[in-house]
Structure 1
């Protein structure tokens, strides 16, 4: 146990909590069982360590961070470990990467019932087995989702500003005032290109090659988070990777499921299941026509974020694809995003929004709002697309 406390103190000492994530203030930390879900690479470990640093003395034994990547737990029960921690006066056990432990949901529930004086915070992936939805842990725990950086969070990290979030309605209908408040402090457009290339995943702040790190994470998402958790045979790994690549190079078209099934040599039903798994892993967005959703074929498939687009393509992505991916990633968390009838048009909470270049000469449609890229400020009622990056 002492070794775990020593490691805990070292990690907390070397954690930067100067710019905490927004989610930090949205969690009810008094709840006895809290789950932090997120895909690989969005900073779940750093988030947990930031929480501890902000709320506990590093030398205190009331709180302890542990990771299920430790081989120690291959020979020691988590429930037994939690009991020893409680005997030493421990009250908050923070468990990282809990999904690596087989039967972890049962273990967490047993700890919850056995040690009523103990609060448990755990992190896990967004990929789950279908039967997990009916597990007791879903009624006991409050779960929160940690995403990658928004453009606003990225700019705050770069400038140490504290730019606040805005609502979708403010962006759409109070554009000039909202952009004025932001432009008084920073010029977001000059940060946008770097964000699109490497700003979504927090590990861009580390020194080694970002794209190589992202590709390594991407492979782990498929090989571990999807194959291992969904219990897909390893021999089908190539099919999953090939499918993701095909979706990437054809993302400006409606997915042809029959073509995809033929290319990766499997059935249409399997392709649909694979696409759902890729979406669970936060690798793609499946966008449906208004009023439709699974199991029907999606109208569009976009990559989850623009960093993936740059990493997966050898050539520079099309600017329209980049901006549509940025737009959908910026609004999907709290809003319904559907595909419009024409290219570049999305329906967000029943608002029709056209994503287009500032130079596009489109006939004005009173039913449409225009999210323009390559422009820094609004013009003639259009909305600069970077402003959508301030919604979360």
Structure 2
């Protein structure tokens, strides 16, 4: 136990409470068992440590461990929880639970055996927390930590603190809102937005040289595929190689309109296997799959279009991605990260919550593609202030 406490204290010395991710204020900390999922690099570990620091200051007895710690070479999670409770522990934070072989079974035992202990853990976004070895559905609450919104990027880098916005407010009152934000910003918004699109989705972007970010993103992708996805799905090295090949094909021409049969034939795979791999990549937060329906998507249904999960990934694969792809990738990412349902639209690019249609384009985009449609809007790049149904694209980065 002493070695774990010492390890925790070392980590806490490097954690600052001055700035928190959006999820910090809305963590479901009343739950006895809470899982926080998310892509590598989005700040899950920091979130746990910040919450622990806050809890310790309130007098709670909390312990942070990582499932990779050598302590678990000879000890189980259940043994640790039992020992921690005997010390009077009230809160146990476990980082990277997917690295622990029997995570679901032991979490169930901990939940049932120690009703006075609250457990919060992080996991890979690829992990289905309700489909482990033991059924946790009646015990577990799950939240997702996404990459930075444009709003958070501005705050993290010292350009101003702003409240998140509702989508209906953005669509109905974009002129007033965009003018208020740009007046309060310490520098023009459009150059900041361009930086965010290329390098600003991950919190570590503040700490390393911009030229090194694409390389860091490729490292993240490789780790997710070779370690997280391989561990979660039990994939062999051969499976991982095929998934990498599939990702490479898609990344060359996103947004990718898949012909599953031709794709399967090209890669010497079955149709169902291709669909399963695509779903795995979406669960791992590497891809965003866009379907014609907004609701009721089956696992093996063909997506209408395939996007990379965020615009920074585009720059990791391509030195100069097309502006149209960047715009669509960004708005799909921000809408879904703020829990809106998004499908493809026959007129316009996206159907949102069955209520709105959004067409995305550059400054000269007109209404021709959404003519005569009700509740239809243009999301316009290189536009600072909104007017009418033309919404500045950057403003969709304030939804969370």
Instruction: State the TM-score, normalizing by the size of structure 1.
Output: 0.94
SS state of the match for residue 20, structure 1?
coil
Deviates further, 260-269 or 140-149: 260-269
Partner residue of 2:292?
289
SS state of the match for residue 157, structure 2?
helix
* Distance across 1 between alignment mates of 2:136 and 2:366: 53
Partner residue of 2:135?
136
Paired positions, count: 389
* Distance across 2 between alignment mates of 1:13 and 1:166: 34
Question: Does residue 271 of structure 1 match 2:283?
Answer: no
Question: Does residue 97 of structure 1 match 2:96?
Answer: yes
Partner residue of 1:73?
72
- Residue 335 of structure 1: how far off its partner (Å): 1.1
- Residue 184 of structure 1: how far off its partner (Å): 2.6
Partner residue of 1:188?
189
Partner residue of 2:37?
37
Q: 1:373 aligns with which of 381, 385, 392?
A: 381
SS state of the match for residue 215, structure 1?
helix
Contact 1:5 1:61 in 2 (8 A): no
- Residue 138 of structure 1: how far off its partner (Å): 2.3
Structure 1 residues 129 and 348 mapped into 2: Cα distance closer, same or farther (>3 Å)? Answer: closer
- Residue 5 of structure 1: how far off its partner (Å): 0.9
Q: Structure 2 matches for 1:295-306, cutoff 5 A?
A: 295-306=300-311
Question: Does residue 245 of structure 1 match 2:248?
Answer: yes
Contact 2:104 2:132 in 1 (8 A): no
* Distance across 2 between alignment mates of 1:118 and 1:360: 56
Contact 1:284 1:304 in 2 (8 A): yes
Q: 2:346 aligns with which of 341, 344, 351?
A: 341
* Distance across 1 between alignment mates of 2:14 and 2:129: 38
- Residue 159 of structure 1: how far off its partner (Å): 1.6
* Distance across 2 between alignment mates of 1:73 and 1:134: 19
Query: Residue deviations 1:73-110, cap 9 Å, x none?
Result: 02111111111112222111111011111110111111
Unaligned runs of 5+ in 2: none
Partner residue of 1:384?
392
Contact 2:288 2:307 in 1 (8 A): yes
Partner residue of 1:352?
357
Structure 1 residues 286 and 109 mapped into 2: Cα distance closer, same or farther (>3 Å)? Answer: same
Contact 1:155 1:188 in 2 (8 A): no
Instruction: State the TM-score, normalizing by the size of structure 2.
Output: 0.92
- Residue 46 of structure 1: how far off its partner (Å): 0.7
Query: Residue deviations 1:25-44, cap 9 Å, x none?
Result: 11231322111111222111
* Distance across 1 between alignment mates of 2:69 and 2:220: 19
Structure 1 residues 160 and 51 mapped into 2: Cα distance closer, same or farther (>3 Å)? Answer: farther
* Distance across 2 between alignment mates of 1:28 and 1:279: 25
* Distance across 2 between alignment mates of 1:270 and 1:31: 37
Unaligned runs of 5+ in 1: none
- Residue 131 of structure 1: how far off its partner (Å): 7.3
Partner residue of 1:20?
20
Question: Does residue 220 of structure 1 match 2:226?
Answer: no
* Distance across 1 between alignment mates of 2:92 and 2:180: 41
Structure 1 residues 185 and 68 mapped into 2: Cα distance closer, same or farther (>3 Å)? Answer: same
- Residue 380 of structure 1: how far off its partner (Å): 4.3
Contact 1:41 1:202 in 2 (8 A): yes
Partner residue of 1:197?
198
Cα RMSD (Å): 2.0
Partner residue of 2:87?
88
Partner residue of 1:178?
177
Partner residue of 2:313?
308
